[in-house]
Every structure is written in C-alpha cells, then in structure tokens.
Amino acid sequence: MAGTSGLTIRHYDWAGGREAMLRFGPDRGPVLVAALPFYEEANRTRAALIDVLRRLAARGIAAALPDLPGTNESLLPTGEATLARWRDAFAAACASMSGPVHSMAWRTGALVDGTAEVSSRWYLAPQTGEAAERELRRLQRAGGGEDAGGNIISDAMLAQLAGAQPTTEGSVRVVRLESDPRAADRKLPGSALWRAAEPGVDPALQALIADDVARWINGDTA
C-alpha cells in the first residue's frame, strides 16, 4: 500500500546533544536516511533531495533528513562542526529508526554515512574528502580567511576531510550523471544542481533518482 508523503519534524539524540530531523512517509517498513552535500552544495540541492524523499514516501518508503551538528537548525556553531561529529550524529540518526535502514548520500554526503549501520548505501556522484578539502580551501582563500562561501570551516574539519573516502564495503550503489566520465553502476541524464549559481530543481532527474532508489531498496538492481 502506498504511504503518505506528509512531512513531520522529529528529533534524534547523539553524543553531543539533540538535533532536528525531517520525516516523510509511513512509520513502518524500510526507511531511507539521507545526507546532503556539504555547505553551499547543501543549499543548492536541498529542495531537489527533499522532493526525492517525498516521491519515495508516496511509494511507501519512509524517509528522513537529519540536521547534522552545526547545520540548518542545529545549536552547534558552524565553525565547531567536524566530520567526526557528523559521522557520529548520522549514525545515531540511523540507529533511532525502526525497520530496515538504508542511506542515500549526494556528493560529499557520502563521507558521512560510513559508520552508520545500514542495510545498503545509495550514492549520487560521491566525492572524496581530498576533493572537498581542496575546494573548501580554495573558497577560504577567496574569502581571505576561515570563511568558505559564507561558512566558517574549522582546521579540524579540513584535517579530517583530507583522508576521507566514501564507503565501498557492503551493499553500495553508485549513480552519476551522464556528463560524469567516472565509473558508476548507472548514469542518469540531468543537471549538476550542486554547481548551479542558485538553488534549483530538476524534476525529471529527481523522478529517475526516486525510481532507482526504490528499486535498489526493493532488491531490483537490474
């Protein structure tokens, strides 16, 4: 039976406190926990990712988008965020779910879910920590200090990013855009929303992503 795509705001606890979490769909059955890209890329892709979660919820797959420490509504200052804290918090958000848990991460979000206990991982255009660190340092130089595109980035965050890699163990599916020459399990047509000047959406791409994720969770990898 199809679930509801209605949105509720809930919370989860981690070692550093309590954070907000958007929940979509039914309370039972499989649940997908999502991780956005970092910083400005999160702003550019948030609406598109939430649309995917709503589409999944309408198909009976529950979905959640947790705030990570130092992001969105979190009380932790942005400059105190670290990759280790984000990994701990994301793992705690996943552990707070009932039923089979899967993760979906876009871009640098694939660096966050490595310690979470999930049944499978679905990545869109996963990025290495080295590439993320290089881009953030470039933005810092452009900003003349710790500021990277309006975000304060700590030295601890940059140091932890330097050697970070997306998880390759277990059940992992990697999807990229057709414009990306790197290897993937599937290539999709669509816009690189994370590179846009302003936040945007690509409904056709979002529909393809939701369909691929749903098939992946249901065990159809053809």
The model's pLDDT over 145-167, given as tens digits with 9 standing for 90+, comes to: 767 778 889 999 999 999 999 99
Decide if 94 is inside a domain.
yes
Q: Which of 211, 218, 210 is nearest to 34 (CA)?
A: 210
Q: What DSSP state is assigned to residue 37?
A: P
Decide if 138 is inside a domain.
no
Strands (E), the chain: 7-14, 17-24, 31-35, 62-66, 101-106, 120-124, 147-148, 151-152, 172-177, 186-188
91-135 tens-digit pLDDT? 999 999 988 999 999 999 999 999 999 999 999 999 999 999 999
CA 71 and chain centroid, separation: 12
Q: Which of 45, 23, 24 is nearest to 36 (CA)?
A: 45
- Show the domain range for 18: 7-129+168-216
Helix axes 155-162, 129-143, angle to 10 degrees: 150
The amino acid sitting at 58 is: A
Q: What pLDDT does 221 receive? A: 67
CA distance linking residue 132 with residue 96, whole number of Å: 29
69-78 tens-digit pLDDT? 999 999 999 9
Decide if 23 is inside a domain.
yes
Decide if 151 is inside a domain.
no
Question: Which of 137 and 207 is assigned the larger pLDDT?
Answer: 207
- Three-class secondary structure of residue 84 per DSSP: helix
Give the number of domains in the chain: 1
What does pTM read for this prediction?
A: 0.94
Decide if 26 is inside a domain.
yes
Decide if 98 is inside a domain.
yes
Decide if 153 is inside a domain.
no
Any idea what the CATH number is for the domain that residue 36 is in?
3.40.50.1820
Q: What pLDDT does 4 receive? A: 54
Decide if 144 is inside a domain.
no
CA distance linking residue 182 with residue 208, whole number of Å: 19
